Structure 1
């Protein structure tokens, strides 16, 4: 059993450090307690691609818009083009697509209405944007950060080629890649999945559904090593916000489920 820090910063001194320095933590299966909701078990997760775009133009006085392109308007147009990534076709493996379709109701119950719809799709969020000095100036600089989530089964080359084609239309823009975590998954019908379902059925009277996580977890590090990793944890409602909490009943249920499932896996 491990208790680690730094998951929100992708584990440089937590799980990543352990795997690099104490490889026995890999084991042959990982059971992770990060948020999932009691109604879902996460067997995979979307990847993420973080990019920073910088737009530079000559700039001018706000009344002389004929003298220079506006860096903020160029950035706005570039962002609208990047939205087209969300329409890319993604070939989700057949067994994963079947599992996702079957678990759509539980998916929305655990992560909010609409979660099941975006799970198999590329999504784009513009996390920060900065540009301009004054209201009566045509901005000469603008930068923004894009958070692109990559579904299981997506072709990374296709994503990068599409981004390259888009950015070619905007010679004023440059791009820097800040982070890439590829999507990951393991068997949605694996041994630990079946054990978890059975124990939750005995404890709470329902079977949680297998789903793909929208956000990242440390479980990906095990999957990258071809070790099955499953996430069963509390509901993510309120995660990262004021007064983040886990109901005591949920906490006790999760402790029981993890203890019983680890025992069953190790003894079978």
Structure 2
């Protein structure tokens, strides 16, 4: 069997294991994929470490020790959990890993089991060939979809020396940008926005629903809080990542200047308009509103929860100030509570791993420029960056598969991977790993 065949076979089994994480502690079942991966490496000389901070929530690391302690190490971070599905909205079995018309269907096929399987297969190939010069580690991580509490976060805080975090690859990259002049470019995640989840609690008058006269309505106040926050306008990101992204599209000068200032029309990005806006701004999504119980009781409290993603350089204090400014005179009547709060992280576009990423892409797609971007969601790479390492997304899609198409597959109904993209990603990882550790 070829390396591609090995990868595809493993990928289909990882999908079938249905390691569904519904964001509660006892789900995920990542032990299934950990066991599959351990069987996959059964005939190789690798060091294996299992991590199980909570029953069933298993991460597993496979290390091929290098011969030269001075050589650059490489660590491949692949997660093994997937998000839930609404089976009524799927036209195929989400865990059957069916191949139809050159596409592999299944939950997690794109996010991110095709990369995880590729990482495992390439690492096994290196192990079978004998010890490399640099140390190579592949880690199958639990709980990424719930921000890594039982996975990368736990390992980074409790077992940080279990493997190297110096040079790391994970999701995602290698999809194409539809540039204005028709030329090609590949988007590479070099950083990601932070987290600033907030709960705003409001207080009003309790009472019977039959006598509302003169009452300070909690529900009305909650609605006004939501309205004011929806009208907030965070400033545009003013850094090299955003300006470089805009310049890569080769718009006319006036459009380019307006976008850099935050005054432009994001529709010029076409299907990437929402991504470009999220990339360039701190975003506030109001996701939960709650007040009341019995229909005849005026609730005395209510709350609004928000998924806020700050841009690099935006602090948690900046977020609170933004919310207070938006609330105006209501700011003194509410309580702002911080929930999950994490800073944005960004890796430099220089160094041996970055050079290997760029040269690999240029070998496989010589006409495509490489454009560093900041991911609008999260990944396990942020833990590597916090421990002083660098982390980049790495995969490769065929021309015509743009960033919008790749993003549409994430957590979607009928999630599917083009097998052409799997073949390209396997080739890219094989080349890059050999550059780094051989």
TM-score between the two structures when normalised by the length of structure 1:
0.83
Q: Distance in 1 between matches of 2:316 and 2:335?
A: 20
Q: RMSD over aligned Cα, in angstroms?
A: 3.0
CA distance 1:123–1:22, shift in 2 (3 Å): closer
Q: How does 1:11-160 map to 2 (within 5 A)?
A: 11-19=148-156, 20-32=158-170, 34-39=171-176, 40-62=187-209, 64-83=211-230, 85=232, 87-89=233-235, 92-93=238-239, 95-103=240-248, 112-133=272-293, 138-160=298-320
Q: CA deviation at 1:24?
A: 4.5
Q: Distance in 2 between matches of 1:261 and 1:189?
A: 15
Q: CA deviation at 1:124?
A: 0.5
Bigger RCO of structures 1 and 2 (CA < 8 A, at least 6 apart): 1
- Structure 2: any 5+ residue segments left out of the alignment? 1-137, 177-186, 251-267, 398-405
Out of 130-139 and 148-157, give the one that drifted further: 130-139
CA distance 1:217–1:104, shift in 2 (3 Å): farther
- The answer to whether structure 1 residue 245 and structure 2 residue 416 are counterparts is yes
Q: Distance in 1 between matches of 2:154 and 2:294?
A: 45
Q: CA deviation at 1:45?
A: 0.7
| Residue deviations 1:70-112 (CA, integer Å, cap 9, x gap) | 2122112112333355x2336633x33432323458xx98983
Q: Distance in 2 between matches of 1:246 and 1:109?
A: 24
Q: How does 1:141-220 map to 2 (within 5 A)?
A: 141-164=301-324, 166=327, 169-205=330-366, 206-220=368-382
CA distance 1:114–1:240, shift in 2 (3 Å): closer
Contact 2:165 2:384 in 1 (8 A): no
- Structure 1: any 5+ residue segments left out of the alignment? none
Q: Greater CA radius of gyration, 1 or 2?
A: 2
Contact 1:74 1:170 in 2 (8 A): no
CA distance 1:124–1:56, shift in 2 (3 Å): same
